[in-house]
Structure 1
Amino acid sequence: MVYTCDRDFIISKCKEYTLLNNDEIEAIIDVAKILPYFNEGFNGETFIDIKVHDADLAVVVAESYKKRQSIYVDSFLGDIIYRENEPAVFRSFDLGVTSKEIIGVSFDRHQNKIWTRQTVVPIKHQDNVVATLILEKVLDLNADEKPVVKLEPMPDNDKIDAVWGSIFGINSDNEELQLREGILIFDLTGHLRYYNQRAVKLYQELGYKSIRNQHFDNLNYSPKNFDDIIANIQGTFSNDDHDHVIIEKCYDGKVTIGEKFYRIHIILRIKKNVDVIVFIDDITEMRKYENEVNNYLVSSHEIHHRIKNNLQTVASLLRLQSRSSKDPAVKTILSDSINRIMSIAVTHELLEKKSNDLVSVKEVLDKIKHNMISFGVTDNDKIEITVKGTDFFIDSEKSTVVALVVNELIQNSLKYAFPNGAAGMIEVTTASDGKIKMIEVKDNGIGYNPTQIKTNSLGLSIVKSYVYEKLVGKLIIETGNEGTKTSFAFKL
């Protein structure tokens, strides 16, 4: 008999390939010590595999087989095991359940293929699967996969029968004529009665060489075993109900199998006989796309968060510089710059919490209003700023432009419209007419003489250039004794 239980070897491989702790490794060694007993009772080959951390691979760490009766002549210790060759091993790792009589493939030292039938039992420590015990027998298997039987024909309706057969993939190899889901139908005993070609393909990708005559519990990847599902039908029908079809959903969810993701839907169909119907669909590409979108959103949120923080840091530094300056003109310039920076930060503050690149224009304007009050643009507390009108959404680029323009207009009103601490009101109004958007900033201050406007005014230059060049919009300024109204319109 070939039997190897090398304690040091098991420990070294566990440390090399896994994150198992000492107690979990000892649990593997305890089973390895009695491996020959399994070998004798099972009358086949026995192995212990550990799963490689963060990979769809396993490693043989213990073995026992009768050399004279076995086709194996060399040790497999340290060999890498692949899911596509031994699906039972990985199913037991994935689900923590026993996998019985599942066909696998092994190779001798000359890389000749050896067909095997495996029963795999998970080795657990405190409910965690730490390794698998493989009980294996060699057999000769024709790998070609064919359905067990044809689906029962629909009575007196050849057309319906043809459609039924093509959908379930019994009469056609054309995948375009089949559902994208793999379909498995089990009888009341849990044995597979029907399946379509899509199901064969899905299980081949999981390493199954055959699903012929398999029991539900050997093919199932949902949290429910067959007894759990059958228990759901107790009391749902009687002998008098055989003329009715009762469909009761048992399970609908997503599972991870190795590096792939699947959606599994299980229902009961009750009409004279009980059928357990399983729909399984590979949603790996869909999940990858969802992950890419989520990663993009996380990255986007992080970028906007950092930009906002950096802008606020710059504003804080300028604020410190303003406090240390004794020149009123310098203080004014720094204060204006701080407000411009904070108006840009508004967009990034809103976008760091969004799932797309669109922000509410009223949210932007409310933030501008808040900044004006919070950062003391004016000492006059008799001035009220309001935001009203129709809300609409704009992208980040236009949001930044709108924020800067409105910031300049409110800032000008605060500076010049209410001299000597006069009370007043500044109204910011939004409107929307289809794709045309309009924003108006109006105060009830003293107004001004347009001919006396400084041509080199930075604030007015910003307003004009941003409206005309960035928004490709129109700008209208009206002023008089009853105040100033500035409106700009642009197209989305």
Structure 2
Amino acid sequence: MATLAELSRLGTGLSTQQLQHLQRLVAWWGILADLSFSDLLLFVPVDRSGEEFAIASQIRPTTGQTLYQDDHVGLRVSDIDRPLVASAYGRAEVIEGEVPIKPTNRRASVMCIPIRHEDQIIGVLSRELLPNFAERRDPGELERTYLEAFHQLAKMIAAGTFPYQDNEVDLEQVPRVGDGMLVIDPESRIQYASPNALSTLHRVGVLGNVAGRRLADIGIRHPAIKAVSERPRAVVAEIERNDTAVQIMGMPISERDVLQGSLLLLRDITELRLRDRLLVSKDATIREIHHRVKNNLQTISSLLRLQGRRVESTEAKMAIDESVRRIRAIALVHETLANETTDDVSLSEVAEMLARTAQDSFTSPDRPIHFEVQGDAGLVPSDIVTPLAVVLNELLQNTVDHAFTREVPFTQGRTGLVEILLDRTESEIRMAVRDNGVGVPEDFDGDSQQGLGLSIIRGLVTTELTGSIEVRRRADTSGSEALIEVPLPRN
């Protein structure tokens, strides 16, 4: 579908509102092409004289043979090359005729429809098909009905009432013409039902001939469908009967602001909805697993804390406390995953929770330390967030133990500050933890340190996450900073 930027680059001189109107029309391209069995080309004027045009969009039908094997978007033509287009634009009326198709010089039957927006012609829609279409495809009731529906929509385009204004229908998720179509009169009676529409209705329990019956009589009573006759806008609804789900899109047809009826496109989406339910069930199961893992980790933490109370060795108590904090960091990730519908987690949310935990665990009135998170790394896969959470937990622990040692008392009014900085590029995640404490020595070498905390950090960052870590003294002020870079997986 042509974007506003692409339409603007053609140098049409049209306003933003006019370009948006053309973009809405192009969004209905597929339905219009299938109803007309034709290629559709959108011509927009390059100058106000109407002597030169650019092809802004093109689509081929799925219901018929295409005339064009190559792409014509961006091609510029003059009024001599396309006299019918220029005539429809200048006279503001539908023009039909034949034109030669270059480079083969085959003839094409063309219907040029002026596109009106607020009493101004802003472009021309050209419907193009082989002149012997009737001979190549013997037109039956289906073909005649499709073509009549297209002609009605063409009149609305020329009148400025199609495409519908302020429409919120996602046209990438709606039925196509070939899925099934009903033609409805102003009294909601069915005038015509395509074979595929009959098959879909049969699957929801509507048997026999439906021609002449009202929609309510066959069980289509959705309030959104009723709204088609009340406002000139498309609506989409779903009905479920006999274990079959059917999506319906209603398109009102009007002439001179008088409702002439509507088109209903039907699509059997039973398999799609079944897959949706399976995905929802799968997501619920995964969230329940994460919830149980979190509970199990919390149980392990409780057991370790009970064990720690029975241990007399100070060193053993410290080791148990550190293990409890590491388990808690992993449990936080699973708690977040238990509340998410995807396998991605907000890294900043996990960092906030770890910062709050550190704030509650390590601060006291005589040792005030403030933890804050800055930046955002967006949603990150859980297999990256889990080790990063453990790494962050270790860094916060090391910062408290070494940057704000108890041997160096806090002076009056001084507050320790630990900042967690998050950033993200297309290829990597960056996390930094910095403080305003005593700082590491100038010649500090993190690779030579043998402490358990730094060993865990190095192992997770460099081995599991194939990233890098650097611990150094801050150059701007007192304190230290740990810089971590982790590559993101390629899609």
Indicate whether the TM-score tops 0.5. Answer: yes
Equivalent residue, structure 2, for 1:406: 392
Cα displacement string for residues 58-111 of structure 1 (whole angstroms, at most 9, x for unaligned residues): xxxxxxxxxxxxxxxxxxxxxxxxxxxxxxxxxxxxxxxxxxxxxxxxxxxxxx
Q: Which of 470, 476, 480 is the equivalent residue of 1:476?
A: 470
- CA distance in 2 between counterparts of 1:256 and 1:408 reads 54
Could you report, residue by residue, the CA deviation over 1:266-302 in whole angstroms, capped at 9, with x for unpaired residues? 4554558843543322111221122122112212221
Instruction: Name the counterpart of 2:401.
Output: 415
Q: What is the CA deviation profile of residues 302-355 of structure 1, one whole-angstrom value per residue up to 9, with x for unaligned ones?
A: 122111122122112212222333321111001100110011112112122222
Map 1:78-477 → 2, pairs under 5 A: 169-170=142-143, 179-187=177-185, 191-206=189-204, 210-211=208-209, 213-217=211-215, 220-223=218-221, 248=232, 252-266=236-250, 268-271=252-255, 274-376=260-362, 381-420=367-406, 422-423=409-410, 424-448=416-440, 450=444, 456-477=450-471
CA separation of 1:270 and 1:441: change in aligned 2, threshold 3 A:
closer
**What's the TM-score, normalizing by structure 2?**
0.56
RMSD, matched Cα: 3.9
CA distance in structure 1 between the aligned counterparts of 2:365 and 2:452, rounded to whole angstroms: 22
Q: Deviations over 1:398-419 (max 9, x none)?
A: 1011111111111112122222
SS of residue matched to 1:216: coil
Shift of 1:165: 9.8
Residues 363 and 369 in structure 2, CA contact (< 8 A), matched pair in contact too: no
Aligned to 2:463, what secondary structure does the other structure show? helix
Aligned residue pairs total 320
Whole-angstrom CA distance in 1 between matches of 2:236 and 2:484: 53
Equivalent position amino acid for 1:342 in 2:
R
Q: CA–CA distance in 1 between the matches of 2:483 and 2:323?
A: 23
Amino acid at match of 2:466: V
Q: Could you tell me how far 1:366 is from its partner in structure 2?
A: 1.0
Provide the rounded CA distance (Å) in 1 between the counterparts of 2:227 and 2:436: 77
C-alpha distance in structure 1 between counterparts of 2:189 and 2:458, whole Å: 77
Cα contact 2:228–2:252 (8 A) shared by 1: no
Distance 1:230 1:321 in 2: 68
The C-alpha deviation readout for 1:227-259, integer Å capped at 9, x for no partner, is: x959966xxxxxxxxxxxxx6469742111111
Deviation at residue 472 of structure 1 after TM alignment: 0.5
* CA gap 1:232/1:213 in 2 versus in 1, 3 angstroms: closer
Distance in 2 separating the partners of 1:165 and 1:288: 39
* Cα separation, 2, equivalents of 1:198 and 1:465: 61
2:192 touches 2:211 (CA, 8 Å); kept in 1? no
CA distance in 2, matches of 1:447, 1:268: 72
CA gap of 1:261–1:167, structure 2 versus 1, over 3 A, is: farther
Distance 1:455 1:429 in 2: 24
Distance, in Å, in 2 between the alignment partners of 1:411 and 1:195 is: 71
| Distance across 2 between alignment mates of 1:270 and 1:452 | 75
- Compare CA radii of gyration and give the structure with the larger one: 1
Identity fraction in percent? 23
The superposition leaves residues 182-234 of structure 1 with CA deviations (integer Å, 9 ceiling, x where unpaired) of 22224456654222121122234345553254512576322269xx959966x
Q: Which one-letter code corresponds to 1:193 in the other structure? A: Q
CA 391–218 in structure 1, closer or farther in 2 if over 3 Å, else same: closer
Amino acid at match of 1:466: L
Could you tell me which runs of 5 or more consecutive residues in structure 2 were left unpaired when the two chains were aligned: 1-93, 98-108, 112-128, 147-175, 411-415
Distance 1:290 1:422, change over 3 A: farther
3-state SS of 1:385 partner: strand
TM-score (norm 1): 0.56
For residues 381 and 451 of structure 1, the distance between their equivalents in structure 2, rounded to whole angstroms, comes to 28
Is the 2:228–2:262 Cα contact (8 Å) retained in structure 1? no
Question: Would you say the 8 A contact 1:377–1:411 is kept in 2?
Answer: no
| Matched letter for residue 362 of structure 1 | S
Question: 2:308, 2:445 → 1: CA distance?
Answer: 32
Looking at structure 1, the residues matched to 259 and 425 of structure 2 have their Cα atoms a distance apart, in angstroms, of 63
Check whether the contact 1:364–1:403 (CA below 8 A) recurs between aligned residues: yes
Cα–Cα, structure 1 residues 169 and 348, in superposed 2: closer, same or farther, change >3 Å? farther
Between the aligned partners of 1:261 and 1:359, the Cα distance in structure 2 is 33
1:120-161 deviation line (CA, Å, top 9, x unaligned): xxxxxxxxxxxxxxxxxxxxxxxxxxxxxxxxxx99898779
**CA distance in structure 2 between the partners assigned to 1:195 and 1:322 by the alignment:** 76
SS of corresponding position for 1:280: strand
Distance 2:271 2:425 in 1: 41
Is contact 1:254–1:262 with CA below 8 Å preserved after alignment?
yes
Match of 1:486 in 2: 482
Determine the C-alpha separation between the residues in 1 that align with 2:340 and 2:485.
25
Deviation of the 1:377 alpha carbon: 7.9
Moved more, 471-480 or 440-449: 440-449
